[in-house]
Each structure stands twice: as structure tokens, then as C-alpha cells.
Chain A
Amino acid sequence: MNRRNFLATALAAGSAMLTPESSAGEMSHFEPPTAAREADAVQTMTFALTINGAEHQLPETPVNTTLLDCLRDSLHLTGTKKGCGLGQCGACTVLVDGRRVKSCLCLAVMQQGKQITTIEGLGRPEGLGTPEELHPLQAAFIEHDAFQCGYCTSGQIMSGVACIHEGHAGSDDEVREWMSGNLCRCGAYTNIVAAVREVARRSASA
């Protein structure tokens, strides 16, 4: 049992104890109906994912692994952040076949054959973004001071790149609407909008 599983189990047990009405009958909601469930529980698959142009062969991977956990825990691409894990905060935004998605809502096993782009792949074409070779939006985030703690930043930038590419960055209001899937609890929104708008203007005039 790793730390995460331990925490999940402890939290589930804790919240059960906090519910005075719960009886053994109600808690059976959590129990698998048959022993066969255990056999299902360990289903793993080997497969390959194409990330930032490179093919990554994964070892036996549980089929219930999210794309986000696969990126971070199996492939150590930790630029993609885990915020809520429920599709609400946008910190885990990546591009799949050029479209922005929340990687916490995707199963890794379903991404075979697709082109996945993460923050690590944004800078140089070979996917080795360095401080010297930033994507224009990465540079604009620095220039506009578009973050404080930085936790949401890679998701904001991935979402912003797609927002500009989609043509949804024509006004501040449009950026706010089309960036609404990315939350920033530091409240750097004003500068995020400015950074996205500036890169959109520059790419439109280029």
C-alpha cells in the first residue's frame, strides 16, 4: 500500500465513522458483491502512449489509471499538476490530438494512438522546453507576472495555448469565458488574461 492508497483508505474509514446513521448494511455499498471483483481489481495492460512526439512504452499498468497519474507517477512528467482530480480546477490540462482536455478525467488506456502534448513539450519542438527556449505564452506569463504560487500555471498555459489556437482570445471577456475551466486560487486572473491576449494579438499579426 502506498501513501496515497493509505490516505484514501484512512479518509474513507474516517468519514464512515463520522456518520452516525451508517449501519453495516449501508456500508456494504462499498463492498464488492462477489469475490470475482478481486480478480477484476488487478487487471493491468501494457500499452504505449505518444507524448510530446516520443513514444513511451508503459509497463503493466492498472486500467483504472488516469492519464494524469500515468504522466506524473509512471512517466515522471510532473509538469502536469494534480489539483482537484475531479475536472474542476484545470491544473491537469494537456492537449490530446491538439484539443485541451483535463487529464484527470481521462483513462490512460484510452489514449493509445493519440498525440499527447504536456507543458514539457511546449517549448522546443523536441519537447525539452528550457528557460532559454520557452513557448511564447510561457514567456508572456513571466513577463506579465501571471502567477503567484505557480501551481495552476502549467494548466493555465496549456489551456491558453489552445484558447488562442481556437480563436477564442479576441477580447478580455472572451478569454475569461474560454479560460473558465482553469482556476487560480492566488487570483492572478487579470495578468493571465493579459498574457493570453498579448500572445493572441502577436500571433494574429504574425
Chain B
Amino acid sequence: MIPFSYSKPQSLSQAVASHAGHGSDRGSWAADYFAGGTDMMQLMHDRVRNPERIIDITALPGLDRIQVDEQSMHLGALVRMSDAACHPHVVKNYRVVAEALLASASPQVRNLATLGGNLLQRTRCGYFRDAVLPCNKRLPGSGCPAVGGQNAGLAILGTSEHCIATYAGDFANALLVVDAKLHIAGAAGTRTIPVSDLHRRPGQTPHLETQLHPGELIVAIEFPATTGGWRSHYLKVRERTSFAFALASVAVALDLAADGTVQDARIAVGGVATTPWRLPLVEQALRGRKLDAELCRKAASLAATGAVPQTQNAFKVPLLQRVVARGLEETGGLA
């Protein structure tokens, strides 16, 4: 394990001040906030992150709370994945979120990992995770061996010539279709952003993965109240049934009228894109039409629009289309 110093601030302002003292100009050696630690421990073990200082944020007051009222639900950033996944209000009103959480990692990991940390997990791209190899995300300007290399698990959507790493998470995809917001705190105060604004596409700067400023941290996730007609579901396809990252996954939320007409739809996919990824063309193809198997297939055929397959991952184009179709059918009770 790499060496680091350790602090355990008792308040948000102390945590932010502690981070500021171990500045953002230090690249992978900058201070890192640390809570569940499930990804951080791997990253430090593999020398991908080398923080001078670990700031243990698990004592920050109030961040482990789940609050429910008529207008909304707030999940604190320190709520464990396992606790959120089995919370009765989540199970009842945000099924897609509970299913996405339970499709992630393993029971032991979900007992440690926090929701805020889950959103900020780093890609599983093997070139990123091997600190002796070039990687534009880890070492800007060093190149991307994944292009033309081992890219079977990597992205077909949202890529650039500089980076094709997949966003590996499930929870964030589910958050996209329930219109969640993130509460963020930092030296400049607090702000709220839609979850869709959190992750950045790689473009020319794959090392900049989120819109968080240095030293900012996610403190809570806000969910708008759900209304009657909405139903939701998460479907994840992987190389084995359990404890694996997605080859392709889909988060579906449909507002269905009594006769099965799609009044509104929100669809997001994982395992295929560089960020959590909405499918506006699929959503548009569904709206105003009656949901049946034919419509599911037709709409899903638009899922890979704009895809740029690499040497080994062209299989993800038809796989994604089928996963989206299946996810729509299951959500609509057709399969």
C-alpha cells in the first residue's frame, strides 16, 4: 500500500479546508476524500491514485441520512449501497434504483461502498488500471493503447480518439431516469446540479471526468417524488450472472397510461458509453405510442445511433439494441 497521511475531520468545512491544504496541482498525489474506500483501495494498491493525504469523511454529520417527505427523497452521500437498495421507500418508488444497486458489486462491497463514492468510481479500463502503461486519463498526453488494443469491454458511445474507457457504474444510470439532482459542497459553498451534468465526455481532456471542482464533494442525492403512472426497471447483461461489470445495461422509466400508451419515457444505458448515457432518440420513438413488442424493438433499434465500434467491441451494437428492447418489454410487463 502506498504511504499517505490520514485525517478525520468532524465537519464539512474542516474536510474542505483539509483538502485545500493538499492541493489540486499535485495530480494523482492530491488529497483524496475517502469513505467506503472500495475503489480507492484498489486504485492505491495499483498506484493509480497516490494521494499524499486521505481525508476520512465518514464522521461528517448528517451525510448518512435518508430523508423522505411528500415532495422528495434525499439520500446522503455516505449512505451505503446496501442500505439504499433495501430501503422500503426506494424499493417501492424507485425500483430502477434498487435494482441497479443490487446488480452492482457483491454483498460485502455494497456493505462498504457509499452512494457518493459509487458515482465517482473510476473506469475499469485495463490500461487505466495498470500504472506502468500509457493512458490519457491517468497521465494526460501519454496516449491511448486501448484504441487498437484490448477494447472488448470498452465504449462505443461518447468516445474520442483520446479515450474510449467505459463508465462502469450502474447507480448513475438509474439516477438519470428518475431525474435525480446532486447536492455538492466545496470551498465556494454549496450548489445543486442535475445528475446528467456530473460526468464529462472524454473529448480532448479524458483526465477530467466530472464537473466537480477540486475539493468539492457530493453530499446528497435528491429524488423528485414519483407519480402514479411511472414504472421503472434495471436490466444488466454481463459475462457471468453476478459480481461483474456490465457489458450492456439499461435503466428504463416509463409513464404508461391505462391503455399502455407511453406518455413519457426516460432511458439510460451503461457498459457501452464513456459516461452514464441517455437515449433521447429511443425515448422520442416511444412517446405517444402504445407499448408492444414491435414498438420496443423499433425504438431499441435506435439505441446505438452514433456508435463508433472499436476492433473488438462491435458486438456491443446489437447487444445494446437487444438489451434495450428486453428492458422495455420487461418494464412494460410484456416479457
Contacts and interface: CB of A to CB of B under 8 A. Distances in A.
A29 B139 contact: yes
B249 interface: no
Nearest to A16: B132
A143 interface: no
A30 to B, nearest CB: 6
Contact of B3 (A21, A40, A45): A40
A197 interface: no
A15 interface: yes
Interface string B33-67: 01011100110110100101110101000000000
Interface stretch (B104-112, B209-217, B289-297, B307-315): B104-112
B86 to A, nearest CB: 9
Contacts of B42: 86-87, 105
Interface in A1-55: 12, 15-16, 19, 21-22, 26, 29-30, 32-33, 36-37, 40-43, 45
Contact of A19 (B44, B50, B109, B132): B132
A93 interface: yes
Contacts of B105: 181
Interface stretch (A71-79, A122-130, A172-180): A172-180
A107 interface: yes
Nearest to B52: A40
Contacts of B28: 29
Interface stretch (A94-102, A134-142, A198-206): A94-102
B2 A102 contact: no
B139 A159 contact: no
B187 to A, nearest CB: 22
B4 A40 contact: yes
Contact of A66 (B41, B134, B242): B41
Contact of B111 (A64, A101, A107, A180): A101
Contacts of B50: 30, 32
Interface residues of A, number: 49
B43 to A, nearest CB: 10
A45 B6 contact: yes
A105 B37 contact: yes
A64 B243 contact: no
Contact of B58 (A12, A42, A110): A110
A152 to B, nearest CB: 13
B59 to A, nearest CB: 10
Per DSSP, chain A at the interface is mixed
A30 B131 contact: yes
Given A29-B139, A37-B52, A101-B108, A106 B47 contact: no
Contact of A177 (B44, B45, B111, B242): B242
Interface residues on B, range: 35 or more
Contact of B107 (A42, A65, A85, A159): A159
B107 A107 contact: no
A116 interface: no
Contacts of B47: 12, 29-30
A90 B111 CA distance: 13
B108 A159 contact: yes
A196 interface: no
A19 B130 CA distance: 11
A90 B139 contact: no
Contact of B29 (A32, A66, A181): A32
Contacts of A86: 41-42, 45
B334 interface: no
A177 B240 CA distance: 11
A63 interface: yes
Contacts of A110: 37, 56, 58
Contacts of A109: 6
A26 B45 contact: no
B240 to A, nearest CB: 9
Contact of B134 (A21, A33, A107, A168): A21
A15 B47 CA distance: 13
A64 B38 CA distance: 14
Nearest to A163: B107
Contacts of A168: 107
Contacts of A100: 107-108, 111
B109 A178 contact: no
Interface of B: 1-6, 26-29, 34, 36-38, 41-42, 44-45, 47, 50, 52-54, 56, 58, 82, 105-109, 111-112, 131-134, 138-139, 142, 241-243
13 contacts: A29-B139, A32-B29, A40-B52, A42-B3, A64-B3, A66-B41, A102-B38, A102-B108, A105-B36, A105-B37, A105-B109, A168-B107, A176-B241
Given A64-B1, A105-B109, A106-B112, 7 more contacts: A64-B44, A66-B1, A101-B111, A102-B38, A102-B109, A107-B41, A181-B109
